Structure 1
């Protein structure tokens, strides 16, 4: 493969950096579901365990009009406030592919398992805190049974309900501008709530639009296709680290599908929690975000096979 001049290489780095900055979204509320077994990847590929390199849109990216990249954004701690309830969040892992178009727009490609995977969070106070006390007789009866800790405990799992969208490249390198939109719903799990208790839905999701509160630290590494660091490598990885992120502009719908008598349980949960909750009354805070983006250093040199080369390199790094 011919080497690029220093000027061309810097231009390529800058372009990849701008796209990577989009992903400084830290990834949102660390409420999430368990994922299927993920492959272990070598070296610089290690964080990109769910990149959808084999998706048709990624494979079809030619490296000229359409450039494929892999994105990972993680966060260890944070909090989310929905109505009157605040939950401390744990680990998050947001992964997706991006096809960067020549006109400056980007198309997000989500993994089959969904873009967001993270630890479930425990709702403070459990079911007692979520809907008790209540002036609804049936709910009062349920509240009186909740001395058992197993019956009282509620976990909240945030699930993707569609691919992220609405990239703003400029916002990724600035502060206080929404970077991306992530549609989600929250699954509340407890024996008395049943299996279908959600806040938000596929048709009416909670849409999170995180923004940087500070500029992330920037780093860049070049590596071979198999993940081994190499200054002359055909792959490059952007690291954006340490930026706190926030969204306080999203609305939250009421709960639905909760309990056998769903109408009564929904009403009790909504009344105690303060749902539905209009935009401005809710917030997401990520204390630290670690975001990584990998792509071909010079995609224009492998036209029209950039997507296929990216997939080949990713698979070569699987251990």
Structure 2
């Protein structure tokens, strides 16, 4: 029983690990949250109380928690490459009996990550320029703290096209992740984005190598136990990459300059950029997946059972 469950959970964890690492390529740090006990420790934000998770019966729908982290990586958009820092993404997954999967994000957002700094700042992003209004801004930026730009990746829709089998393979897309990138600097205003809900950047990450596999069993409160009702899959050390995505041009940048800064940013960075000219790399991805060993034995309340277990490790 455990062997078959472990194989199924491992497949899901591998797939989601790649997807999660890609989605968390850049971001913004948020306040610390409570750390659950024992084997639950990485799952600080699993959406166990989301309606879809609670409704999972353990037969037709099986609920699981997933977290994926990466210490660093890089993302190339057109002519600009940004080094990324620590990332952490957490979601719930519902495995359906027909072989499909559904993704559930935490209510406060799935992504927590260090902010990424754009190399060269605003000077590097849009200067020099042959647009007089932009040139005037460029002249003010030399040796100025106003030059710094931070970039934050934001979800603009639910993941889709999840392929569970691809999670145990290499060089095959696992999931589609629609995102946009928020560029922040006083001269850019508050609505400067690369990508949008209508025209997102769609990441389709792939494994570049097989991750190392480990598994543990534990009780509902997180205590390690060979006869525990919970299991945790650990997948570590994989490099993840996607170079298939296209990047639209920047929009909404600049304070009342009627698209002039949009044009300057796009011209300097080479946006829009067609698929094949962009790439995402996440180093040393660490992925963990937790689920009930025998969800059918607590049907139709598997989701509620998972929620109670997680809360028992937190409270």
TM-score by length of 2: 0.96
Cα offset, 1:36, TM superposition: 4.6
In the alignment, does 2:309 pair up with 1:317? no
In the alignment, does 2:175 pair up with 1:180? yes
Question: Residue 272 of structure 2 aligns with which residue?
Answer: 276
Moved more, 179-188 or 112-121: 112-121
Task: Pick the aligned partner of 2:163 from 149, 168, 192.
Answer: 168
Question: Residue 71 of structure 2 aligns with which residue?
Answer: 76
Residue-by-residue CA offset, 1:111-140 (whole Å, 9 max, x unaligned): 112222211101000000000000001111
Question: Residue 95 of structure 2 aligns with which residue?
Answer: 100
**Cα distance in 2 for residues equivalent to 1:38 and 1:59:** 22
Question: Residue 154 of structure 2 aligns with which residue?
Answer: 159
SS class of match (2:238): coil
**Cα distance in 2 for residues equivalent to 1:311 and 1:262:** 50
Question: Residue 115 of structure 1 aligns with which residue?
Answer: 110
**Cα distance in 2 for residues equivalent to 1:43 and 1:262:** 54
Question: Residue 91 of structure 1 aligns with which residue?
Answer: 86
Q: Is the 8 A contact 2:170 2:209 kept in 1?
A: yes
Root-mean-square deviation (Å): 1.1
Q: Which segments of structure 1 move beyond 4 Å, counting only runs of 4 or more?
A: none
**Which structure 1 segments of 5+ residues have no match?**
1-7
Question: Residue 27 of structure 1 aligns with which residue?
Answer: 21
SS class of match (2:214): strand
Number of equivalent positions: 312
Cα offset, 1:45, TM superposition: 0.7
**Cα distance in 2 for residues equivalent to 1:231 and 1:204:** 48
Q: Is the 8 A contact 2:17 2:67 kept in 1?
A: no
**Which structure 2 segments of 5+ residues have no match?**
none
Task: Pick the aligned partner of 2:222 from 227, 241, 245.
Answer: 227
Moved more, 22-31 or 209-218: 22-31
**Cα distance in 2 for residues equivalent to 1:286 and 1:22:** 14
Question: Residue 3 of structure 1 aligns with which residue?
Answer: none
Question: Residue 10 of structure 1 aligns with which residue?
Answer: 3
TM-score by length of 1: 0.95
Question: Residue 211 of structure 1 aligns with which residue?
Answer: 206
Residue-by-residue CA offset, 1:82-126 (whole Å, 9 max, x unaligned): 000000010111111001000110000111122222111010000
